[in-house]
Amino acid sequence: MQRYFAKLETIDDVGQTIHAACEMISDQGVLRQSYHVTPPFSESTSKDTSIYSRGFSREWMALYEQGDLRSKDPIPERILAHGTMMTWQDAMARGQNTEEHLEYFATMREHGLVHGFGVPLYGMSACDAYSAFDFGRPLDEVPEANLGLVRALAQAGHQRVCMLLNSSQKDYDLSEREKQVLEWLARGKSIWAIAAILDLSPDTVKTYSRRLYAKLEVSDRVGAVVKALRLGLVRI
């Protein structure tokens, strides 16, 4: 266990921290996971929330990200309000459900999302987040050691992300074009889609992306988007 935490403490890049924590969590048998980073004063289901996920089907993610499912999902807010781990099923039964909520729950079941659970994550300077995990089977069939380590790794990874974000509070001199590219990256658009939107060549967009990563002191899109949203550099 300690080797996992020690490794996280050596990483000085937001995106790499998220990737490393997710790899460690996958090692515990988790089939699906998501990490929702919300800017201050926004809801976890708002379009301003950056979601890093793995294991979920492309069809589900398209419905959640590009459709209107995200706005119908009451589970993150209910678990954050509860303040500790809660299964999806318990969260569904907590509070009064609207027709939109019931529609969302039915769509979850259609995509095999039944046995997961959510965890609220806390960090310095109100850097809070939400993560969801799914072993693909009921939690009473999951070894307690694995379940406990998943929760601990999620919190440790998030705290590392918050520390890295908090240590980089400074002014970022982004050009107008770099801000535009960053905004579309945050909206999940590909390099080629951004090139078409901004009437630029893909190579030019790649150049702007590399400049953004350098200025934000990150190594990839995930780190850039999470950092930009938390620091209020973009609104989506």
- Say how far apart CA 117 and CA 137 lie, in whole Å: 11
Q: Cβ of 125: how many Cβ atoms within 10 Å? A: 12
Query: In this predicted structure, what is the pLDDT of residue 41?
Result: 55
Nearest by Cα to 85 from 44, 39, 122, 48: 122
Query: Which pLDDT tens digit goes with each residue over 36-85?
Result: 887 665 666 667 677 889 999 989 988 887 767 888 999 999 999 999 99
Q: With contact defined as beta carbons under 8 Å apart, do 48 and 229 qualify?
A: yes
Question: In 115-217, which ranges are E strands?
Answer: 117-121, 129-134
Would you state the pLDDT for residue 94? 92
For residues 126 and 154, which has the higher predicted lDDT (pLDDT)?
Answer: 154
Compute the distance between CA of residue 64 and CA of residue 212 in angstroms, rounded to an integer: 27
Residue 196 scores a pLDDT above 60:
yes
Sign of CA dihedral 7, 9, 13, 15: positive
**Percentage above 90 pLDDT, the chain:** 51
Mean per-residue pLDDT, 123-128: 76
For residue 220, what pLDDT band results from cuts at 50, 70 and 90? confident
Q: How far is CA 228 from the centre of its chain?
A: 13
Q: What is the pLDDT of residue 23?
A: 95
Q: Is the pLDDT of residue 190 over 70?
A: yes
Where does the pLDDT of residue 168 fall: very low under 50, low under 70, confident under 90, or very high at 90 and above?
Answer: low
Residue pair 104/73 in contact (Cβ under 8 Å)? The answer is: yes
Average pLDDT along the chain: 88
Helix, strand or coil, per DSSP, at residue 200: coil
